Each structure stands twice: as C-alpha cells, then as structure tokens.
Structure 1
Amino acid sequence: MQKPPLDPDVADSAPDDKALTPYDERHVVTYTRLLQAESEGADWREVTRIVLHIDPEREPDRAHNAYLTHLARAKWVTERGRLFRDGGSK
C-alpha cells in the first residue's frame, strides 16, 4: 500500500463493500482521525467540519450522513477489514 494522503476529500458516503477498497486505503488517516475523535468524545459537527471538510450548518443532512457512514466504515476497517493490522488489502 502506498502512503495515504493526510487530508483527502471524502465522498458523501463511505463505501459499504464487504472487502477493502482503494477508497479505504486512501482514507486510512481520515478513519484514524474519526476513531480518535470519537474516543475523545468530540462533537460530530466539529469532527465533520475539521476532518471531513463539510459544514454541518450549511449542509446538515450531508454532513451527518458522511460522518455516520465514515465512522461506521472506520470501525469496520479496524474490526473486520484488517487494513491497519496487516498493512492493506491483498
């Protein structure tokens, strides 16, 4: 796996494939930041603004959907996708 970008733009929804995707590999840093923010109890609106680059005041539905789907994907990647444990998809 190549070194992932530090702050890539995100799609409106994270992938929901049953296998790791190139999108997942590009968003390792995003997923890590989301998981860290959640563990620290950060407000989802602040996280959406800073990490996902979506203004929750102007686009509340889009922001909330992006936050929820990317956080769920981050959890899936670490629990079942094994992106962080084995260095990437095969």
Structure 2
Amino acid sequence: MDSIDWRAPSGEKVVDYDRRNLALYAALLEADDAGRDWRDAAATLMQLDIAHEEAETCWRSHLERARWIVGEGLATALVAFNARMTQ
C-alpha cells in the first residue's frame, strides 16, 4: 500500500487521497463489520506499527472517513468519483 497520512481527510469534499485509498476504506469497513480488532486491521491493512502512539488515531480517522463516504457523503463521493472517471 502507498504511504498513508496519519489522519484521513475530513470535511464534506472528496479529495484525491480518498480516491487513492478507496480500497483501504472498503477493507476497513469490512474488517470492522466482521468484528476484527483495530490492532489487527491497522497492522495488516494499513501496515501500521500498532505500538506507535498515533496508530489507533490513524486507524480510527480512516474508518470514520470510510463510514462518511458510504453514508452521509455517498452522493458527494459518487459525483466526485464519476467526474474523475469521465475526465
């Protein structure tokens, strides 16, 4: 996986970072829905060193962003992803 930011984007605009990490977002949602421990998901899906003091915050911010994209931000995300594909 490409390097990830310690904090996922926030706000109501889909950015390139979201596009690049859409597969990660999906995997995080799947892992959370399956009840996987955050440490396992952070280590395997994000290649984070879970001993790092920011690891849980990083994992949580990406999971929250994933939830926003498939929830409240879905309409915005669909428009943004479609616009990118037609350019």
TM tier, smaller: 0.7 to 0.9
> TM-score, length-normalised on structure 1?
0.80
State the shift of 1:9 in Å.
Answer: 2.1
- The match for 1:42 is 36
38, 50, 53: which one pairs with 1:56?
50
- The match for 2:12 is 18
Maintained 8 Å contact 2:14/2:80:
no
Runs of 4+ in 1 over 6 A off after TM superposition: none
The runs of 5 or more residues in structure 2 that have no matched partner are none
Distance 1:87 1:19, change over 3 A: closer
Report the identity percentage: 26
Q: Distance in 2 between matches of 1:81 and 1:24?
A: 12
> TM-score, length-normalised on structure 2?
0.83
SS at match of 1:88: helix
Q: CA RMSD in A?
A: 1.7
Q: Distance in 1 between matches of 2:72 and 2:2?
A: 23
1:27 correspondence with 2:27: no
- The match for 1:80 is 72
Maintained 8 Å contact 1:9/1:53:
no
SS at match of 1:80: coil
- Number of aligned positions between the proteins: 81
The runs of 5 or more residues in structure 1 that have no matched partner are 1-6
Q: Distance in 2 between matches of 1:69 and 1:89?
A: 24
Q: Distance in 1 between matches of 2:45 and 2:7?
A: 14
Q: Distance in 2 between matches of 1:32 and 1:72?
A: 12
State the shift of 1:76 in Å.
Answer: 0.2
